[in-house]
Chains A and B, each alone.
Chain A
Amino acid sequence: DGGITQSPKYLFRKEGQNVTLSCEQNLNHDAMYWYRQDPGQGLRLIYYSQIVNDFQKGDIAEGYSVSREKKESFPLTVTSAQKNPTAFYLCASNPGQGRGSPLHFGNGTRLTVT
């Protein structure tokens, strides 16, 4: 079955360490996205990519970095520069062909930084 796989499901890190969250999709979607969700808040866009080797900053990109070397993969690195990294991180994809395509989500990575 096609889908989006995020790993790991839970991740614990010490403050000051960089950490990379994995996101892989086999839906043949061009566009991929990273969102962050904090309790009581809506999803906020961190980075998105419409095509391989290209990506754009979302609304809260500071302290994060991404790469898009393959269509299937869009890893997110949470750097030590991110002030409040503890959150639920969601990766999503859609065909990316114009407006109107809903997002398909992975099952998320819950990151805790102490």
Chain B
Amino acid sequence: RKEVEQDPGPFNVPEGATVAFNCTYSNSASQSFFWYRQDCRKEPKLLMSVYSSGNEDGRFTAQLNRASQYISLLIRDSKLSDSATYLCVVDSSNDYKLSFGAGTTVTVRA
């Protein structure tokens, strides 16, 4: 089983729609969780950290479900500029290594 798994999508949604997707992780001892955004042929950029109680940043909401070992990202009122690949990142061991999911592609259409 991979350490971090994501539905690759693509999720094709109209502008203004809400889109949500999950990421599952295998290590129950993981403590740090992040969502990154990656545009085509560019470096990943931190979108938000994910906290135990869930957190919001504008139109983006992240949730953590420790019992089922997944995190989620919800995007409200989608914009064309939200089109990107969203990477789930989880710390998977007691050292400093972070594991990346392969990404979920979101395409927002006009």
A interface with B by C-beta (< 8 Å):
31, 35, 40-45, 48, 50, 58, 88, 90, 94, 96, 99-108, 110
Nearest-Cβ distance from residue B106 to partner chain A, whole angstroms? 16
Pairs A–B under 8 Å by Cβ, sample size 16: A35-B100, A40-B8, A42-B4, A42-B101, A42-B102, A42-B103, A43-B44, A43-B100, A48-B97, A58-B97, A90-B44, A96-B96, A99-B32, A103-B46, A105-B43, A107-B43
Residues of B within 8 A of A50 (CB): 96
Question: Mask for B21-49, Cβ within 8 A of A = 1, else 0?
Answer: 00000000001101000000111111001
Nearest-Cβ distance from residue B52 to partner chain A, whole angstroms? 12
A40-B8, A48-B96, A50-B96 in contact; A102/B49 too (CB < 8 A)?
Answer: yes
Residues of A within 8 A of B31 (CB): 99-100
- Distance between Cα atoms of A48 and B45 in the complex (Å): 19
Is B62 positioned at the interface, with any CB of A under 8 Å from its CB? no
Instruction: Tally chain B residues at the interface, Cβ within 8 Å.
Output: 23
Name A104's closest neighbour in chain B (CB-CB): B46
Q: When the two chains form the complex, which single residue of A35, A88, A100 contacts B32, counting CB atoms closer than 8 Å?
A: A100
Is B64 positioned at the interface, with any CB of A under 8 Å from its CB? no
The answer on a CB contact under 8 Å between A102 and B46 is yes
- Distance between Cα atoms of A35 and B44 in the complex (Å): 11
